[in-house]
Amino acid sequence: MTRAQPSGELQAWHREAERALNARDYRRAHELCLRILTRAPEFADAFFLLGMIAAEHGNFAKAADVIGRALRLDARPAEYHAQLGRCLLALDQPRESLAAASQALALMPRAALVPDADSVPAPRDAVGTTGVSLRRDALTLDTIGVVMSRTGAYEESLDPFRRAVALDGGKPAYFYNLGASLQFVGDFTAAESAFRSALALDRNFHKAWSSLGQVSPQPFTADELAHLEAMLSVRDVSVEAELHICHALARYYEHLGDYSRSFQYLERGKRRKRASIDYSIEMDLALFDAAQRICSADFLKRPEAGLGCEEPIFVLGLPRTGTTLVERILSSHPQVYSAGELTNFSVALKRASGTTSRFVLDVETLEAAVKIDSRKLGSDYIDSTRPRTGHTPRFIDKMPLNVLYAGLISRALPRAKIICLRRNPLDSCLSNYRQLFATSFSYYNYSYNLLDTGRYYIAFDALARHWATSIPQNYCEVQYEAVVEDTEREARRLLAFCGLPWDPSCLSFHENAAPVSTASSVQVRKPIYRTALERWRKYEREIAPLISLFRERGVAIGPAG
């Protein structure tokens, strides 16, 4: 609102604009906001609502600009800062996004209804005469939590998420978001409670079912199983719902040892999802080809110097091949901090390339990389990781997709260390196929089809071999199976490669309390286990087409590398 009390007519227009926005009548909301601003150019909330309209249409740059105008008129509303943070997140500005969310949280009043730090409030709706205000505050708090969690501040996100469900316990999405952050910080009991609270409000909240299957030590009950089957039998079940439910059931039947039925559910959910998206494996194969082509031996030997910073340790490779395990081993060292799966290098490269394509990672951007200033790219990357990094001598960036940038990383940051995980090809592909990745992240779309996953592996294998011969000075491969068989030997080898002294805490990686947001968030809280080795043999009949593909392409069915 403006600093001066608006007239009754302006207030009426403002209330109507809010109602129109909530009803998704964007044209009417836009018209009313412009009418308000014609009469009162400093009416901050009219600018804020215009920003929200832009955000609803996916125009986050315009939304951030207009919300910024609202903040210049009135910097007091927390929701302005929270929504600005959401827009900046969409614009790949994580540092600025987190700062906006933190400012929003500082402006939120501490209501009497504040949950205990370890509690998950019971589901209930916001009640009383202040219900509308409570719901609005809850939405702002949930937005703050989402921004914090998506910028890697998982522990910090718990407070706003807990406060959101305490203020308005009638939204299953709020409980789900709280549960996800609790899972990432390793509190699986509380995470299960939050997911069950979401399902108590809406038993068809499909994302909670797939997440519950990951954190709960108990399989589904007969009643729960019947409900999941009933959800699938609905004629108009959505693609997303079917995908999540099928993954939940696949995990259930795998737990029972019924691998054939488990695989059938995976195929069912993934087949329909694959058909619903605009994707071809050729899109990914073109990326691998471009990455290898531009980073030729001549290019990598150019005399241009990068930034001489030795802080970063890049852990990369295919997802689900031990990248998180190695990251936890290394980050248990007192001189190493895990910054998580950062998109910072890809964003810095995209900005430096000047390409206008809509994807951060594409062939056009990779091809433009040969012309950029490597030293500035390295400097921009390091600067973008602050202030989360810089408080320890080394930090880990565990983005698997950085494998496509390994050659560019070695030029921009020639003293950085690059560790690439390798795993049995069949286990690599099966593990990717079994995983439900974030559906909003298009770079793992290959995992919706088993043979696409196999073709993706073949391209990855060729690129990894290229890096091993072209940047040997700061590139090291580690075999997942070797880490499982002799953890201390491999830990010592990796620490020596990184120039770090031995520390026995690296063998107690499962006691590492740092958050884990990857698909391995549950597994890495446990000591080393061998049950994932040669898991493919349990599905040998189901993955026969993949085995045939590998045989045709000359891929050895054994440890990679």
pLDDT tens per residue, range 391-444: 999 999 999 999 999 999 999 999 999 999 999 999 999 999 999 998 888 999
- Residue 113: CB atoms within 10 A of its CB come to 11
pLDDT bin (cut points 50, 70, 90) of residue 525 is very low
Asked whether residue 189 carries a pLDDT value surpassing 90, the answer given is yes
Mean pLDDT of 229-240: 94
Q: Closest Cα partner for 45 from 12, 18, 84?
A: 18
Name the DSSP letter for residue 524: G
The per-residue pLDDT for 134 is: 86
Q: Which residue has the tokens 């590398």?
A: 561
pLDDT of residue 317 exceeding 70: yes
Q: Give me 397's structure tokens.
A: 């960036």
pLDDT for the residue 142: 98
Q: pLDDT at position 20, please?
A: 97
The per-residue pLDDT for 439 is: 84
**Residue 6 above 80 pLDDT?**
no
Q: Are 301 and 414 in contact (CB under 8 A)?
A: no
pLDDT band at 72 (very low <50, low <70, confident <90, very high): very high
Where b means 16+ CB within 10 Å and e means fewer, 293-313 reads ebbeeebeeeeeebbeebbbb
Phi first, then psi, for residue 559 (nearest 5°) are -55, 135
CA dist 80 and 56 (Å) reads: 15
Q: pTM value?
A: 0.89
In the chain, what is the straight-line distance between the N-terminal and C-terminal CA atoms, in Å? 62
User: pLDDT class for 1, splitting at 50, 70, 90?
Assistant: very low
- pLDDT confidence of residue 128: 44
Q: What is the mean pLDDT of residues 208-230?
A: 94
Grade residue 335 by pLDDT with cuts at 50, 70 and 90: very high
Helix axes 239-256, 222-233, angle to 10 degrees: 140
Banded model confidence at residue 543, pLDDT cuts 50, 70, 90 = very high
Furthest CA-CA distance within the chain: 77
Pick from 55, 60, 146, 53: nearest CA to 105: 146
Q: What percent of the chain has pLDDT over 70?
A: 92
Answer yes or no: is pLDDT of 112 > 50. no
DSSP 423: -
Q: How confident is the model at residue 127 (pLDDT cuts 50, 70, 90)?
A: very low
Measured CA to CA, the distance from residue 276 to residue 342 in angstroms comes to 28
Domain range summary for the chain, segments of one domain joined by +: 281-553
- What average pLDDT does the chain have? 92
Coil, strand or helix: which one is 342?
A: coil
Instruction: Please state which architecture CATH assigns to domain 281-553.
Output: 3-Layer(aba) Sandwich (3.40)
3-state secondary structure of 186: coil
**pLDDT given at position 129:** 40
> Which residue has tokens 């992240």?
441
pLDDT tens per residue across span 246-284: 999 999 999 999 999 999 999 999 999 999 999 999 999
What is the C-alpha radius of gyration for the chain, rounded to an integer number of angstroms? 25
Taking the C-alpha atoms of residue 542 and residue 113, their distance in angstroms, rounded to an integer, is 52
What was the pLDDT predicted at 303? 78
* Lowest-confidence pick of 75-89, 110-124, 415-429, 437-451: 110-124
Minimum mean pLDDT among 55-64, 73-82, 105-114, 230-239: which range?
105-114
Report the C-alpha gap between 518 and 516 in whole angstroms: 6
